Structure 1
Amino acid sequence: MNATRLAILAILIPAVLGGAFMYYNIVYAGYAELTPEQVGEIQLVSVVSGEPEPIMLDNVMAIDTVEDGVRISGAISFRACFDAPQSQAMLSETFEIMGDPVPLTAPSWFECFNAQEIGKALEDGEAIAFMSEENISFGVDRVVAIMPDGRGFVWHQLNACGEAVFAGDNTPEDCPEPPEDF
């Protein structure tokens, strides 16, 4: 084998191994399945009081990048699926409907959460998205979407304040002050 081939192998082998390592860390190693107790209550904002109120749910499955109670990744990694015994009609009359929800993809192994299916259902008006909690961490809102068959999905997405900060722009005037450690 000549020196050129050895040099090519010396570059390609670490690159392939490094790529595989990064892929594994992003898709598998960073996420942990959460118990319903770790997820806690899922709340929606009441149209009457403007305050979050817990909703009933069954069969909760969730993932996040939290290890021993410490977040090891960004605040938008949380995803959850559940069954809601309440109807869409009851929920839409009781809780704030959210404008412009954008479900974020989940790792492929978390099969109950299909962002493309949820997004299409939201676009077609089949699913309804609700505000769960504004600024669950600075610049990030918790969103809940309910399908007509009662399946529910939860994710975190950037709000206008978060989008401005992460883009390096000035925050809108109605944004809270970012935390000092932000």
Structure 2
Amino acid sequence: MGKILVIFTLLSAVLVGGAVYYLQVYAYYEEVAATGTDDVMLTRLDTGQPEAIPYAEFQAIDATSSPIRYRGCFTTQASTVSLSQAYAPYPDARPIEGPRWFGCYDADEIGDALESGQAQAFLSIENVHYGVDRVVALFGDGRGVVWHQINHCGEVVFDGRPAPEGCPPPPEGIARQ
């Protein structure tokens, strides 16, 4: 009887572990349909408004389970030098890991390229969701990636503290104040 209980417990643990893994890595993600016009945007230095840049080969995934699960990849003919003269940089870019099956997005490679200067990060859309910015990183070879990153307002508010000075007030239900 003891062996049956142990086998049942182990089998249950394996099944639950497999289900949790599947739910975290595959279940909630959906492919984002490309519009072909405004999937890749950067915020202009002069107006502070997002503006579409030319791109091709856009592919992205997102999940409604979290505002920071958005990941995307694309190519562009625009040079980082010309873009850096017109669009806002994103100095604290920290790419967030994505699922391994989304092969065009590798957070380690992106982070290394940002550190070494082989890629440059730009603000795409500030507060695409409250406390979350959309960030674009461009490599010198024309590849680009997009992800969502918690900004300085979100870091404070999501911890349950009041919004710092200069941050928009959080929507109802976001923080305990």
Amino acid at match of 2:62: D
Which digits, 9 at most, give the CA deviation of each residue in 1:93-144, with x for residues without a partner? 1101111100011111110001100000001111000001111011100000
* Runs of 4+ off more than 6 Å: none
Whole-angstrom distance in 1 between the partners of 2:30 and 2:36: 11
CA RMSD of aligned residues (A): 1.5
2:8 to 10, 18, 23: 10
Amino acid at match of 1:87: S
Whole-angstrom distance in 1 between the partners of 2:170 and 2:68: 17
Which digits, 9 at most, give the CA deviation of each residue in 1:39-69, with x for residues without a partner? 943211111112111111100010111xxxx
Change (3 A) 1:51 1:106: same
Amino acid at match of 2:87: F
1:49 to 43, 47, 50: 47
Report 1:88-107 matches (<5 A).
Answer: 88-107=80-99
- Please report the TM-score for the alignment, with normalisation by the length of structure 1: 0.90
Unaligned runs of 5+ in 1: 66-70
2:27 to 5, 15, 29: 29
Matched, 1:138 2:130: yes
Question: Which stretch of the first structure deviates more once superposed, 35-44 or 162-171?
Answer: 35-44
Question: Which stretch of the first structure deviates more once superposed, 48-57 or 30-39?
Answer: 30-39
| Percent of residue pairs bearing the same amino acid type | 44
Report 1:77-156 matches (<5 A).
Answer: 77-156=69-148
Whole-angstrom distance in 2 between the partners of 1:75 and 1:175: 18
Question: Which stretch of the first structure deviates more once superposed, 161-170 or 122-131?
Answer: 161-170
Does the CA-based 8 Å contact 1:77-1:156 persist in structure 2? Answer: yes
Q: CA offset at residue 35 of structure 1?
A: 2.1
Instruction: Give the corresponding residue for 1:161.
Output: 153
Does the CA-based 8 Å contact 1:106-1:114 persist in structure 2? Answer: yes
Does the CA-based 8 Å contact 1:62-1:79 persist in structure 2? Answer: yes
Unaligned runs of 5+ in 2: none
Does the CA-based 8 Å contact 1:139-1:160 persist in structure 2? Answer: yes
Whole-angstrom distance in 2 between the partners of 1:33 and 1:51: 26
Which digits, 9 at most, give the CA deviation of each residue in 1:64-92, with x for residues without a partner? 11xxxxx2x11001000000110010111
Q: Secondary structure of the residue that 2:111 maps to in structure 1?
A: helix
- Please report the TM-score for the alignment, with normalisation by the length of structure 2: 0.92
Does the CA-based 8 Å contact 2:132-2:154 persist in structure 1? Answer: yes
